[in-house]
């Protein structure tokens, strides 16, 4: 990496990166520091072949890790720029730049990285106020990315799609095997979804909760009533390439961290996005805007954090790192976190 960056800073920023959310907590990323940058790569070995065969959700997860990395650098007083292949499923390079005093907004978001949680518990009946919804929309704002708050009609349609997708997945033996591979009851694994974060069994039929204990029927879980009218937001991108997925992951993480700062609980609800026929219904009628994430938002109680692999497991260290790629083939993000 950049010789001016202390080793302590590098380690702290990479630890922030691995705190990002990921589908089924697969943590599907690798980091290669050197050559004046950090190379961030998807790890196909940690892909979900049943619910994410195109690695769309994997790229969103990697984009969230990139966002954390850049925010952590900014909070340490380093600007950064992002070099990413245009339309290709390859690595991104986070390149530190000149020093700059971090603003209060950057410090707040970076401080929320360690506090962010996926909340699968019931939320209060209180709705998220309009000004806070505006703040979430503003957090997602980026070129070719937008966050849409669903009205009651569209919310009902999305919930119906999620319910149908969830029912289809439950009857699929391949889905059940994949779910079993990424869930555990003993709390010893460093990835996946552990019993402490499964959430209760929902007694509210209108809210399709993924049952992470589906293959672990002996795990004792309480039943709970969830809100009858959940608030849903959908993250869209204008385009549906790996580059769009990475950008969506970056924007998604800014939304999640902003929600954490504002005291808003968030849960991804992705079943309808994992069945291609159902995801097609969520595409904007113009055909240009593609749904990348569905989030349930509200106010909830604190929950456990998911496990994390140690940093050494996601680092690639090679003695002779190549120089940065030629920028003519790459898109360049602003020098500061957008």
Distance CA 287, CA 95 (A): 34
| pLDDT score at 187 | 80
| pLDDT score at 202 | 87
**Other CB atoms within 10 A of residue 273 CB:** 25
Q: Strand locations in 161-284, DSSP E?
A: 183-184, 193-194, 201-202, 223-224, 231-238, 265-268
Return all residues near 227 (Cβ < 8 A) that are at least 6 apart: 122, 123, 124, 125, 204, 207, 298
Distance CA 296, CA 195 (A): 21
Distance CA 208, CA 10 (A): 41
Distance CA 187, CA 201 (A): 19
Per-residue pLDDT of the chain (338 residues), as tens digits, is 444 778 889 999 999 999 999 999 999 999 999 878 899 999 999 999 999 999 999 999 999 999 999 999 999 999 999 987 655 556 789 999 999 999 999 999 999 999 999 999 999 999 999 999 999 999 998 889 999 999 999 999 999 999 999 999 999 999 999 999 999 988 889 999 999 999 998 887 788 999 999 999 889 889 999 999 999 999 999 999 998 999 999 999 999 999 999 999 999 999 999 999 999 999 988 889 999 999 999 999 999 999 999 999 999 976 544 444 444 333 445 444 54
- Rg (alpha carbons) of the chain, rounded to whole number: 19
Q: Are 283 and 161 in contact (CB under 8 A)?
A: no
Task: State the first-to-last Cα distance of the chain, in angstroms, to the nearest integer.
Answer: 22
Sheet holding 37-42, edge to edge: 29-34, 37-42, 92-99, 78-85, 330-332
**Other CB atoms within 10 A of residue 149 CB:** 17
Distance CA 254, CA 338 (A): 9
Structure tokens at 248: 């969506």
């Amino acid at each position: 990496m950049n010789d001016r960056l202390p080793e302590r800073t590098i380690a702290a920023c990479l630890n922030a990166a691995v705190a990002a959310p990921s589908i089924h907590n697969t943590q599907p990323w690798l980091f290669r520091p050197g050559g004046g940058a950090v190379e961030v790569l998807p790890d196909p070995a940690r892909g979900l072949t049943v619910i994410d065969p195109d690695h769309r959700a994997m790229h969103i997860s990697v984009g969230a890790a990139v966002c954390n990395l850049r925010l952590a650098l900014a909070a340490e007083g380093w600007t950064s720029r992002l070099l990413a292949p245009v339309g290709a499923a390859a690595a991104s390079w986070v390149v530190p730049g000149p020093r700059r005093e971090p603003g209060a907004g950057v410090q707040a978001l970076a401080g929320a990285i360690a506090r962010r949680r996926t909340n699968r518990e019931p939320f209060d009946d209180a709705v998220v106020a309009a000004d806070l919804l505006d703040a979430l929309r503003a957090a997602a704002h980026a070129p070719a990315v937008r966050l849409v708050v669903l009205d009651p009609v569209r919310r009902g349609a999305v919930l119906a799609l999620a319910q149908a997708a969830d029912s289809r997945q439950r009857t699929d033996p391949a889905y059940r095997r994949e779910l079993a591979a990424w869930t555990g009851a003993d709390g010893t694994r460093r990835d996946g979804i552990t019993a402490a974060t499964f959430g209760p069994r929902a007694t509210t039929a209108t809210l399709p909760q993924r049952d992470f204990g589906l293959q672990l029927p002996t795990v004792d879980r309480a039943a709970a009533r969830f809100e009858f009218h959940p608030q849903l937001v959908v993250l869209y991108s204008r385009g549906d390439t790996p580059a769009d997925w990475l950008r969506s992951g970056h924007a998604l993480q800014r939304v999640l961290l902003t929600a954490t700062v504002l005291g808003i609980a968030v849960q991804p609800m992705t079943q309808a996005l994992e069945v291609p026929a159902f995801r097609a219904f969520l595409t904007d009628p113009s055909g240009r805007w593609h749904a990348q994430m569905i989030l349930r938002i509200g106010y909830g109680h604190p929950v456990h954090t998911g496990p994390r692999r140690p940093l050494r497991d996601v680092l690639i260290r090679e003695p002779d790192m190549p120089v940065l790629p030629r920028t003519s083939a790459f898109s360049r993000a602003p020098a500061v976190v957008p």
